[in-house]
């Protein structure tokens, strides 16, 4: 290691891409640590409270891109009260002060205020890429600031954010001189759009490769946009309502035919289903199709469309496709790697797919490695078959809409089925369980899921043993989230050192008590043990009786930053 | 450390005694005990107590109907959860044996014959799905587990016991009104979970917080999107369009949301259903007997026959006959509607009566 000049090492490290590998490289020796640190351009912080922004800026002086994740995953499902935290402003402010040459900011489940967007847009002259996933707290005014002041903006990607629409003309805030746009996704916006501004923007963006429109963009505008941007690789259709006999529709068909490069299609937020045939012509080129926001497409239209999609690698659809439709997918999409089937009516709690659809997919799509499947019912036999057919799963998430439903045929728990999955899929990194499950399934997981990094548990298990099996067995576990399961202090405290090898642990509606959490916090000062005490469910009266109270929501995570200072009143850090 | 669970168990037991004439509460040790016992709070079917696992296993090989009988055994557990037959090899405490157990048995069901280990169900404190239906604080859960016990069984022999108990349970449970929801909403769920197929589950509106695990953005979007697609033939719907409807001779008006319909026929059917109660008298005079005879066709005859015609007032204030203009135009211009007697409609247009006859 002393034989190479620093530049050579730096050059070699350039080839080391993944965060994990770079982290390993930096552990070798002080020299390597130093070189790796100043040469790392992309930094990933999986928990924004695990470390402070000043420290990040200090260590990674060459930082250009940062990815931050804020709230715990279960915040997606309303289990975390608003104002819990995850504010990006301190990060932007600290980076601005430290004169970080920030070019890319990717955020997930964070609170982004308009002020932070404005600060961002003014502080980093080379800023190029803003990706916000599942974030909240900003309005179209913040977007206007980004549009106006980020002169080199290449990418503005808003995925499933909760944006308050002030109907300002944020799109028209892109200066006329701005021609650098490569990717623009505003599908999640609900309000009106300045359509002429959009068309002009597309017209002056020759590098535009990805465009995802919101519902406010009607068909005639789409058609004109497609004429101007036939080079698009990724298209998200906004509104797709029209009269099939109209001239607009014919023009659209012509425009679509010119888009030979489109590989990824999504949107159809408002759709007249019988007119999808216009897109059949580009279906054979598609590798990614997301129709999960298009409940207006009936299964026969979906099937007609899918029959053309021979090259599909990623498919996100609603369960109205049905088991029959999944059979069509299985026979058509032989390259399918990722499938997500969402319930079209989550409130009623009925899904139109069953275990049969999943089995059909497993038979036809041998390359499948990632699945998210919401279904009405499941059986052990089906899961065992799926495991045999598809041993390559990296992500396996099954959600039976009735969360404690047993095997639909035998009425047994689904332990054996999930056991088969973990045993067969040696590379399994992420697993979500549902259905009736006992401690047995956790025994299997502990035994076989050696690569498991993230596990989501709900309404499962019988006793502390279940959680103990997992903590003992899954050496690579990073994130464990549990709700409504009978795991208590014995499990929580079994191996406290384990939590420093993990990113975080979430337990809600389990059996852990305040005393248990306190004991844990005491023994592990390197963890933040947070109790979320909504609605004053718990009372600190004083005395040891407090400790017997069950904790409704606990979130613990390892951190170098100590107790966070922005916690709201209802969050207690022990 | 003393598990707080035991404290919980006693609480449940004492409350359960309100409901059942005899309770057999066995203390449960969750750590280190060789046998996991079921508890039987209702004390109704002794055969389901822990010792008699052979009775349970005997049922396994039989048909679905037997499984349903099993579903009727009372035990404290999640609604619909069964005591899975366990091979003694599968005992959680005999881990060495477990390693040898194959994971891909040819017939997974058969493997579980001859169990000696009934499933360790609720230790009294386990959160069932129905418990979580509340999504509220802990102190309600003790009552909830009673609710669980009551809702598991389904057989008719228990129904008499059950029917008197819901009232009592409501007393116990009902201190906070929100708790009554599990009783009301869980019944269809419990019934359906016990059966092999769940396809007939009625839509229950009560939801567990955060279940199913779908991003709230997606949930909200789908709710809006599907509502819009249902309206008006897949076109983007605006907000509802309510208009008043009066019927001559009826004591009060009704209101309908015109966006719920996509054609005149649907509207007409809906109105017929809505105003059927007012025309029963007419039916009587037409020789039909009782409400059962008030079929749709008879109503149609009434409304489209000589008796009634459907009219509307448009934006200009003119009273028009319903059906003349295309549906889209109609809903744009209709301010309110009136079901008037055919005799009154003569002034509108003489062919009104003929036209309504032709509609049939």
Segment A194-251, tens digit of pLDDT: 999 999 999 999 999 999 999 889 888 999 999 999 999 999 998 887 766 677 778 8
Is B3 in the A-facing interface, judged by CB distances under 8 Å? yes
Place of tokens 């059927």: B276
Report the residue of A356, A423, A509 to disrupt the B interface, i.e. the one with the largest count of B CBs within 10 Å.
A509
Helix (H) or strand (E) holding B12: helix B5-16
**A33 confidence band (pLDDT: 50, 70, 90):** very high
Is A384 in the B-facing interface, judged by CB distances under 8 Å? yes
Helix (H) or strand (E) holding A67: strand A65-69
A377·B98 Cβ contact <8 A? no
Torsion angle in degrees (nearest 10) through CA of A111, A113, A119, A125: 60
DSSP-assigned letter for residue B294: -
First vs last C-alpha separation in chain A: 44
Best-predicted range by mean pLDDT (A410-424, B21-35, B325-339): A410-424
A462·B121 Cβ contact <8 A? yes
* Residue-level pLDDT at B41: 45
> pLDDT tens, A478-524?
999 999 999 999 999 999 999 999 999 999 999 999 999 999 999 99
Q: How far apart are alpha carbons A265 and A313 in whole angstroms?
A: 12
Residues in chain B with CB shorter than 8 Å from the CB of A447 are 99
DSSP-assigned letter for residue B236: P
**A270 confidence band (pLDDT: 50, 70, 90):** confident
Report the residue of B225, B233, B328 to disrupt the A interface, i.e. the one with the largest count of A CBs within 10 Å.
B225
A463·B123 Cβ contact <8 A? yes
Query: Taken in order B334, B338, B339, B340, is the CA torsion positive or negative?
Result: negative
Interchain CB contacts (distance < 8 Å): A and B: 212
C-alpha closest to that of A63 among A87, A44, A90:
A44
Q: How far apart are alpha carbons A125 and B52 in whole angstroms?
A: 76
A436·B81 Cβ contact <8 A? yes
Is B219 in the A-facing interface, judged by CB distances under 8 Å? yes
> pLDDT tens, A117-162?
999 999 999 999 999 999 999 999 999 999 999 999 999 999 999 9
Q: How far apart are alpha carbons A52 and A87 in whole angstroms?
A: 12
A380·B123 Cβ contact <8 A? no
Cα B81 versus chain centre, distance: 19
**B56 confidence band (pLDDT: 50, 70, 90):** very low
Q: How far apart are alpha carbons A408 and A97 in whole angstroms?
A: 59
* Residue-level pLDDT at B110: 40
Mean pLDDT value across residues A182-199 = 93
Please check whether residue A78 is in contact with residue B218, taking contact to mean a CB–CB distance below 8 angstroms: no
First vs last C-alpha separation in chain B: 79
Mean pLDDT value across residues B293-319 = 66
Please tell me whether the peptide bond between B223 and the residue prior to it is cis, using omega within 30 degrees of 0.
no
Between B4 and A189, the more confident residue is A189
Q: How far apart are alpha carbons B166 and B147 in whole angstroms?
A: 9
Query: Taken in order B89, B95, B96, B99, is the CA torsion positive or negative?
Result: positive
C-alpha closest to that of B45 among B158, B148, B145:
B158
Q: State the alpha helices, DSSP H only, in B120-279.
A: 129-134, 141-151, 156-173, 180-194, 216-230, 264-274
Please check whether residue A181 is in contact with residue A208, taking contact to mean a CB–CB distance below 8 angstroms: yes
Lowest mean pLDDT among A449-453, B52-56, B130-134, B259-263: B52-56
CB atoms within 10 A of CB B269: 15
Please check whether residue A413 is in contact with residue A442, taking contact to mean a CB–CB distance below 8 angstroms: no
Q: How far apart are alpha carbons A13 and A1 in whole angstroms?
A: 13
Torsion angle in degrees (nearest 10) through CA of B336, B341, B343, B347: 0
Q: How far apart are alpha carbons A202 and A209 in whole angstroms?
A: 10
Contacts 24+ apart (CB under 8 A), B9-18: B9/B123, B9/B124, B9/B125, B11/B142, B12/B41, B12/B124, B12/B142, B12/B145, B12/B146, B13/B41, B13/B124, B15/B142, B15/B143, B15/B146, B15/B172, B16/B41, B16/B42, B16/B146, B16/B149, B18/B168, B18/B172
Between B129 and B214, the more confident residue is B214
CA distances from A204 to A196, A262, A313 (A): 12, 19, 32
**A347 confidence band (pLDDT: 50, 70, 90):** low
Q: How far apart are alpha carbons B174 and B288 in whole angstroms?
A: 47
**B311 confidence band (pLDDT: 50, 70, 90):** confident
B214·A489 Cβ contact <8 A? no
Per-residue H/E/C for B130-165: HHHHHCCCHHHHHHHHHHHHHHCCCCHHHHHHHHHH
Is B104 in the A-facing interface, judged by CB distances under 8 Å? yes
Residues in chain A with CB shorter than 8 Å from the CB of B119 are 413, 438, 462
Residue B267 C-alpha, separation from nearest chain A C-alpha, in angstroms: 22
Lowest mean pLDDT among A88-97, A120-129, A421-430, B21-30: B21-30
Please check whether residue A477 is in contact with residue A534, taking contact to mean a CB–CB distance below 8 angstroms: no
Mean pLDDT value across residues B230-256 = 66
Please check whether residue A485 is in contact with residue A510, taking contact to mean a CB–CB distance below 8 angstroms: yes
Overall pTM surpassing 0.90 (yes/no): no
Q: Dihedrals φ, ψ of B339, to 5°?
A: -95, 105
Best-predicted range by mean pLDDT (A15-19, A200-204, B220-224, B321-325): A200-204
Is B215 in the A-facing interface, judged by CB distances under 8 Å? yes
Percent of chain B residues past pLDDT 70, beyond the cut = 25
Mean pLDDT value across residues B311-326 = 84
**B182 confidence band (pLDDT: 50, 70, 90):** very low
Comparing alpha-carbon positions, the chain B residue that sits nearest to A382 is B108
Helix (H, G, I), strand (E, B) or coil at B312: strand
A440·B193 Cβ contact <8 A? no
B217·A134 Cβ contact <8 A? yes
A79·B121 Cβ contact <8 A? no
Residues in chain B with CB shorter than 8 Å from the CB of A462 are 119-121, 123, 126
Q: How far apart are alpha carbons B312 and B337 in whole angstroms?
A: 4
* Residue-level pLDDT at A248: 76
Please check whether residue A213 is in contact with residue A222, taking contact to mean a CB–CB distance below 8 angstroms: yes
- Which tokens hold the place of B126? 């386990």
- Which tokens hold the place of B107? 């017939």
CA distances from A203 to A172, A176, A182, A256 (A): 13, 11, 12, 17
Mean pLDDT value across residues A89-98 = 96
Residues in chain A with CB shorter than 8 Å from the CB of B196 are 408-409, 411
**A545 confidence band (pLDDT: 50, 70, 90):** low
* Residue-level pLDDT at B187: 38
Torsion angle in degrees (nearest 10) through CA of A467, A472, A474, A477: 70
**A537 confidence band (pLDDT: 50, 70, 90):** low
Please check whether residue A347 is in contact with residue B204, taking contact to mean a CB–CB distance below 8 angstroms: no
Is B32 in the A-facing interface, judged by CB distances under 8 Å? no
Cα A44 versus chain centre, distance: 15
* Residue-level pLDDT at B66: 43
Mean of the per-residue pLDDT values of chain A = 92
* Residue-level pLDDT at B227: 62
Between A376 and B42, the more confident residue is A376
Residue B49 C-alpha, separation from nearest chain A C-alpha, in angstroms: 18
> pLDDT tens, B131-173?
455 444 334 433 334 333 333 334 444 434 434 444 443 443 3
**pLDDT at A95 > cutoff 70:** yes
A403·B112 Cβ contact <8 A? no
Between helix B264-274 and helix B296-304 the angle, nearest 10°, is: 100
DSSP-assigned letter for residue B178: G
* Residue-level pLDDT at A186: 95
CB atoms within 10 A of CB B357: 12
Nearest Cβ partner for B193 among A134, A402, A443: A402
Is B121 in the A-facing interface, judged by CB distances under 8 Å? yes
Q: Dihedrals φ, ψ of B115, to 5°?
A: -80, 150
**pLDDT at A542 > cutoff 60:** no
Is A293 in the B-facing interface, judged by CB distances under 8 Å? yes
Residues 6+ apart with CB under 8 A from A454: A429, A430, A431, A477, A478, A479, A480, A481
Mean pLDDT value across residues B315-331 = 83
CB atoms within 10 A of CB A300: 14
**A539 confidence band (pLDDT: 50, 70, 90):** low
* Residue-level pLDDT at B219: 86
Residues in chain B with CB shorter than 8 Å from the CB of A420 are 103-104
Per-residue H/E/C for A265-306: EEEEEEECHHHHHHHCCCHHHCCEEECCCCCCCCHHHHHHHH
Mean pLDDT value across residues A191-196 = 90
């Amino acid at each position: 290691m002393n034989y190479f000049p620093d530049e050579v090492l730096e050059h070699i490290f350039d080839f080391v891409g993944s965060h994990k590998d770079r982290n390993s490289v930096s552990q070798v020796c002080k020299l390597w640590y130093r070189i790796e640190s100043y040469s790392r351009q992309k930094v990933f912080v999986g928990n924004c409270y695990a470390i402070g922004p000043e420290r990040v800026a200090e260590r990674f002086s060459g930082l250009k891109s940062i990815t931050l994740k804020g709230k715990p995953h279960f915040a997606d499902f309303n289990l975390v009260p608003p104002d819990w935290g995850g504010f990006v402003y301190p990060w932007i402010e600290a980076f601005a002060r430290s004169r970080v040459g920030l070019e890319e900011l990717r955020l997930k489940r964070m609170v982004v205020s308009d002020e932070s967007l404005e600060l961002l847009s003014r502080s980093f002259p080379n800023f190029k890429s803003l990706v916000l996933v599942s974030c909240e707290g900003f309005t179209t005014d913040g977007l206007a600031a980004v549009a106006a002041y980020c002169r080199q903006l290449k990418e503005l990607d808003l995925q499933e954010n909760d944006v308050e629409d002030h109907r300002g003309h944020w799109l028209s805030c892109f200066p006329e001189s701005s021609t650098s746009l490569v990717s623009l996704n505003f599908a999640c916006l609900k309000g009106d759009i300045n359509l002429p501004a959009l068309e002009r923007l597309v017209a002056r963006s020759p590098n535009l490769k990805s465009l995802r429109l919101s519902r406010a963009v009607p068909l005639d505008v789409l058609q004109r946009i497609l004429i101007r941007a036939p080079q698009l690789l990724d298209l998200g259709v906004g509104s797709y309502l029209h009269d099939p006999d109209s001239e607009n529709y014919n023009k659209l068909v012509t425009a679509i035919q010119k888009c030979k490069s489109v590989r990824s299609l999504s949107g159809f937020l408002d759709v007249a289903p019988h007119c999808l045939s216009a897109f059949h012509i580009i279906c054979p080129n598609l590798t990614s199709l997301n129709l999960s926001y298009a409940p207006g497409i009936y299964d026969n239209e979906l099937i007609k469309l899918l029959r053309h999609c021979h090259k599909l690698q990623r498919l996100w659809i609603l369960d109205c496709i049905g088991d029959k439709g999944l059979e069509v997918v299985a026979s058509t999409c032989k390259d399918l790697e990722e499938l997500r089937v969402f319930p079209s009516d989550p409130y009623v709690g009925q899904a139109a797919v069953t275990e049969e659809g999943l089995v059909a997919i497993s038979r036809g799509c041998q390359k499948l490695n990632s699945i998210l499947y919401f279904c009405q019912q499941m059986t052990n036999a089906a899961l065992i078959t799926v495991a045999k057919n598809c041993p390559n799963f990296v992500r396996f998430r099954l959600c039976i809409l009735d969360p404690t439903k047993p095997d639909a045929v035998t009425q047994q728990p689904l332990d054996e089925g999930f056991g088969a999955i973990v045993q067969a899929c040696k590379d399994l990194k992420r697993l979500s369980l549902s259905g009736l499950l006992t401690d047995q399934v956790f025994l299997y997981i502990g035994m076989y899921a050696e690569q498991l990094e993230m596990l989501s548990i709900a309404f499962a298990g019988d006793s502390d043993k279940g959680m103990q099996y997992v903590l003992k067995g899954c050496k690579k576990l990073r994130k464990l989230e549990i709700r409504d399961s009978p795991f208590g202090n014995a499990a929580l405290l079994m191996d406290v050192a384990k939590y420093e090898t993990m990113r975080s642990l979430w337990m809600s509606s389990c059996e852990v008590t305040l005393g248990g959490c306190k004991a844990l916090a005491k023994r592990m000062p390197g963890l933040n043990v947070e109790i979320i005490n909504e609605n004053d469910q718990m009372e600190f009266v004083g005395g040891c009786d407090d400790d017997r109270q069950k904790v409704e929501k606990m979130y613990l995570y390892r951190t170098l930053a100590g107790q966070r200072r922005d916690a709201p009143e209802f969050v207690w850090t022990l | 450390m003393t598990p707080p669970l035991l404290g919980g168990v006693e609480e449940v037991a004492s409350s359960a005694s309100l409901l059942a004439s005899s309770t057999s509460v066995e203390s449960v040790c969750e750590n280190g005990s060789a046998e996991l016992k079921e508890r039987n709070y209702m004390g109704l079917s002794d055969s389901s107590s822990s010792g008699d696992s052979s009775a349970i296993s005997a049922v396994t090989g039989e048909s679905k109907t037997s499984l349903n009988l099993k579903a009727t055994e009372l035990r404290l557990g999640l609604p619909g959860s069964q005591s899975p037959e366990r091979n003694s090899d599968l005992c959680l405490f005999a881990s060495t044996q477990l390693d040898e157990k194959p994971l891909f048995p040819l017939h997974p069901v058969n493997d579980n014959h001859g169990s000696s280990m009934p499933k360790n169900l609720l230790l009294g404190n386990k959160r069932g799905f129905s418990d979580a239906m509340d999504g509220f604080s802990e102190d309600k859960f003790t009552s909830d587990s009673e609710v669980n016990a009551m809702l598991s069984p389904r057989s008719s022999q228990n129904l008499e016991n059950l029917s008197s108990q819901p009232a009592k349970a409501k007393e116990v449970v009902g201190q906070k009104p929100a708790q009554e929801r599990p009783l009301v909403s869980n019944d269809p769920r419990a019934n359906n979970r016990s059966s092999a197929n769940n396809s007939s589950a009625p839509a229950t509106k009560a939801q567990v917080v955060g279940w199913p695990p779908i991003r709230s953005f997606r949930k909200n979007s789908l709710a809006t999107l599907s509502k819009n697609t249902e309206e008006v033939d897949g076109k983007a719907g605006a907000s509802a369009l309510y208009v008043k409807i009066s019927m001559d001779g009826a004591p009060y008006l009704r209101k309908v949301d015109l966006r719920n319909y996509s054609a005149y026929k649907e509207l007409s059917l809906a109105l017929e259903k809505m105003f059927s109660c007012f025309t029963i008298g007419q039916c009587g005079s037409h020789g039909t007997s009782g409400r059962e005879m008030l079929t749709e066709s008879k109503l149609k005859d009434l409304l489209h026959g000589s008796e009634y015609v459907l009219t509307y007032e448009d934006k200009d204030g003119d009273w028009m006959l319903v059906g003349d203009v295309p549906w889209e135009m109609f809903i744009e211009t209709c301010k309110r509607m009136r079901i008037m007697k055919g005799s009154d409609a003569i002034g509108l247009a003489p062919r009104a009566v003929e036209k309504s006859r032709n509609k049939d």
